[in-house]
Each structure stands twice: as structure tokens, then as C-alpha cells.
Amino acid sequence: MKIYLAPMEGLADHYLRRLIAKVGGYDLVFTEFVRVVDILLPKRVFIKQAPELNNNGRTECGTPIRVQLLGSNPDAIALNAIRACELGSHGIDLNFGCPSKTVNSSNGGAALLKEPETIYRVVKSVRDAIPAEQPLSSKMRLGFDDETLMWECAEAIASGGAGEIIVHARTKAQGYKPPAYWHKAEAFEKRLNIPLVINGEIWTTADAQKALFEAQATSLMLGRGAIRNPFLANEISQSQASSNWEDIVPLILEFWDEITATMAARYCCGRLKQWLSILKTAYEPANQLFIAIRGANDVVEVEQTLRSKYPEYY
């Protein structure tokens, strides 16, 4: 079994990827999507999204990273896939699952689940373009409004040459609303003859076990569950005890130190609040910290709050 960290736009940026990968348990982490329209993007676009490319395509602790591309132009996607691999990406992932209205209105992400032939052409174009030794995976949902074209889309991905299919077990219309329908992907691996990675609504070890069983999947991709509990992959793969708040606090402070050192100050407070808003669903002290800094938009004020609450770490 492999465990991957999902490509979560606006959430799993390189700051959190580094931190979660450092905690351990992940075989591979994915970038937020790089959006491709009709041109070859400059190197700086890839480096901005994935600074790990400056480290041979690995996080600080050595976990390999894979660039995810989003778009519907087969030739442009292929050109950018070549560039990502040349820069150090460990393979390419193609996004056929993003539910964003903005992305979908431009015929990207989950919108392509209405166009299996386009999916096939995008996948095949990339597979033909990148070196044979470079892995190619594709991430899809069960459908757009419903599951009518589920198999056509899945078979387009496999026929196009992807070596792995990642399934977020909900339709675009279902968004992120529980539950995830893992069982609906049960026949994917056998029918497509490529490994299935199951994704969606995996928050605990019990969820992971149930998802693998119901989907008859080879591996897991963790999304928001990993943001809520950075130790989740280790808990799943190594049967570790559940983490507690004392395990989380040093990660929060390390995250804060890094973003304030490298990110524009006007974004730092909001970035910390965003993470705490997810952590607070699992840890009551995270909710208390969130309340304490909710009205703060000044880095100095947040820093003072952190130091007063956790003096033992300073």
C-alpha cells in the first residue's frame, strides 16, 4: 500500500506539504494544480507552485513530489508535462476532478468528466510526450452531475496510457459533502488493469481501512484528513496511536515561523487561521487558539498570542 498527499488547491501549499511530509508516512506528495491554457508556461510558474523542484523534486525530508496539471488542450498539456519532468517532477498527474466553478467554466477539472474523448486525448498526449520511465497518474471524480459517464472516463484514462487512476469517490455535484462512495470504485482496478488509489472522506485509520476494502483499492490518497491530522499517514501505515494536541503545537509554531519568514506579512495571519479552522474540528485547543487570533490581522499581535499561550516552546 502507498499513501499519497492530495493536491489541494489553496490549502496544501509547499509550506504544509513540507511540514506534513516531514511528519512522515507519505510515499509521494502532489502539488496544487498548475493551470495550462494554450502555451508552454515559464519555469518560474512551476518553481513558484513547487519550490521542491529546486531540490531534485523532493521535499526537505526527501519525499518525492509530483506536479499536477489541469487543462483541456492536449498539445499544451503535453508541452508543460515535458517541462515539469525536466525540472524534476516525479511523474505527472492530470486533474479531472477539480469542482471549482471558475475552473469548470473554462472547461477544466471536473468539467472534462462530460467529455471522455477529451480526457483520452489529454492523457494520451502526455503519455506519448514524457519519458517512458516517468509515471503518469490521473485523478477523477465519479462524474459531473451523476455517474452516467463514469466508466467511459475511467476507461479513457486507462486507454490513454495512465499507469495509475486516483478516484475521489464523489461526483462534482456532491462536492465535499459526506459521505464518499468508495464502493462505487470497487471494480476499477480489475476492469482497468491499473492500480487504483482511493480518495475522499478519509479522516481516520478506520476510514482508511474501510475505503481500501470497499474500493478494493491498492493505495490511498489523503486530503483534508491529512490537514486536520498531520500524523494520519503514520497512524494508518504504522498503526501508531492517535495524535494529541501536544503533538500538533510544535507543528503550528514551526509553520508560523516559516510563513512569517518567507511570506508577505499581509497573508500570514489568514494562512494560520485557515489551518486552525480545519484543526479545530479535531482539537478543542485549536478552536480556542482560533478564537484568540480570529480578529487579529497583525503578525506581531499573533506572535504575542502564540508566545503567551505556549511559552514553553520559546
Question: Among the three residues 198, 218, 238, which one is the final residue of a domain in this structure?
Answer: 238
Domain encompassing residue 256: 245-313
Q: Are residues 256 and 151 in the same domain?
A: no
Helices 245-262 and 299-309, interaxial angle, to 10°? 150
Tell me how far apart the alpha carbons of residues 122 and 72 are, in angstroms, rounded to a whole number. Answer: 7
- Do 76 and 200 share a domain, yes or no? yes
Do 9 and 85 lie in a common domain? yes
227/270 Cα distance (integer angstroms): 16
* Among candidate residues 178, 208, 238, the one where a domain is terminated: 238
Whether residues 233 and 250 share a domain: the answer is no
So what's the pLDDT on residue 238? Answer: 87
Do 108 and 176 share a domain, yes or no?
Answer: yes
| pLDDT of 241 | 76
Q: What is the pTM of this model?
A: 0.96
The CATH number of whichever domain residue 14 belongs to comes to 3.20.20.70
Cα distance between residue 294 and residue 270, in whole Å? 9
Q: Give whole-number Cα distances, 248 to 43, 133, 136, 184, 245, in Å.
A: 35, 38, 34, 34, 5
Interatomic CA distance for residues 178 and 166, integer angstroms = 18
Same-domain check for residues 107 and 250:
no
Q: Kindly give, in sequence order, each residue whose CB lies less than 8 Å from that of residue 153, ignoring residues fewer than 6 positions away.
A: 96, 112, 113, 116, 119, 140, 143
Say yes or no: 66 and 97 in one domain. yes
240 confidence band (pLDDT: 50, 70, 90)? confident
Which one from 98, 153, 268, 269 is the annotated catalytic residue? 98
292-301 per-position pLDDT tens digit: 999 999 999 9
Same domain flag for 277 and 297: yes
pLDDT digit string, tens, across residues 81-99 = 999 999 999 999 999 999 9
Q: Is 268 a catalytic residue?
A: no
What does the pLDDT look like over 42-86, one tens digit per residue?
999 999 999 999 999 999 999 999 999 999 999 999 999 999 999
User: What distances in angstroms separate CA 199 from CA 73, 104, 166, 225, 252, one per listed residue?
Assistant: 26, 20, 7, 10, 25
Whether 180 and 295 share a structural domain: no
Residues 6+ apart with CB under 8 A from 134: 85, 90, 91, 92
